[in-house]
Structure 1
Amino acid sequence: MNSGLRNPPAAVRGLGAGALILETIVLLLGIQPLRMLDGDLNSAAIGVIVAAIVACVVLAGLLRHNWAWYAVGVLQGLLLLSGFLHWALAVLGLIFGLVWLYVLHVRRTILGSSGAPLS
């Protein structure tokens, strides 16, 4: 199937990296409002947010490796589980988990189900 893209693997990597950078921005901008509006945001929750920010940025640069696509899925699951620290983290994990499922659907549509490497 011809997608019409000049470089389909690069286009898919760009979509994945864009989604991760958007998640990074949302997480970064969400720290202060959560602290101000909800007094029970503890240092563990802030630590989880900072770790997720770092992981998103690092994984955005590593999407040329197939394992990184799975690692992002694990990251979304861990963010969802961190909802035990603060409910807003579970909401963000759910939202960006759904976004990531859509990114994976687009990846499968463009590259096919052959699991072709993205290099």
Structure 2
Amino acid sequence: MSTPSESNPESGRSQFGAPTKDPWKGFRGIASGTLILEVIVVLLTIPVVQVVGDGLNWFSGTYILGLAVLMILGCGIQGRPWAMKYNIALQVLLILGFFVHYSIGIMGIVFALVWAYLVYLRKDIARRMDEGLLPGQRD
């Protein structure tokens, strides 16, 4: 049977007291910062696609700019329970960028590894909170 924090790690319900500092606030900041970094890198693919590829056309330009806009919008939803699913969906779209240009797909794989690590960190924070191992939870 899953604990409440496994279904929603940010619920913070455990047998231990809440930590003095909110660990989810810091995690949301890391997720938003990663998305902003990703926006910068995605926008830097425009000159690469223009020069190295077959040139920038309406589809590739719209795809790149659309991803950038979705990532910027994603920065504002990191407090929602479905935010991590949204972030992972963005990585799938970025990997599918292989069909636009291989450099976009490679970048998608690199950032997918970063987001895989962030998913691991999110689960680790929830586990440590449930076990009362976070600073401020100890007596």
Using the size of structure 2 for normalisation, the TM-score is 0.72
Equivalent residue, structure 2, for 1:33: 48
Q: In the TM superposition, what is the alpha-carbon distance from 1:113 to its structure 2 partner?
A: 8.6
The partner residue of 1:109 within 117, 124, 127 is: 124
Equivalent residue, structure 2, for 1:117: none
Please list every run of 5 or more consecutive structure 2 residues that lacks an aligned counterpart in the other structure. 1-15, 130-139
Retained in 2: the 8 A contact 1:9–1:111?
no
Retained in 1: the 8 A contact 2:45–2:103?
no
Equivalent residue, structure 1, for 2:24: 9
Equivalent residue, structure 1, for 2:10: none
Using the size of structure 1 for normalisation, the TM-score is 0.83
Which has the bigger relative contact order, CA under 8 A and spacing at least 6?
Answer: 2
Identity %: 31
The partner residue of 1:24 within 39, 63, 68 is: 39
Runs of 4+ in 1 over 4 A off after TM superposition: none
Over residues 28-56 of structure 1, what are the superposed CA-to-partner deviations in whole Å (9 max), with x where a residue is unaligned? 12212331233344321121110110111
RMSD, aligned α-carbons: 2.3
User: Which one has the bigger helix percentage?
Assistant: 1
Aligned residue type for 1:65? R
The partner residue of 2:87 within 61, 64, 72 is: 72
> How many residue pairs are counted as aligned between the two chains?
113
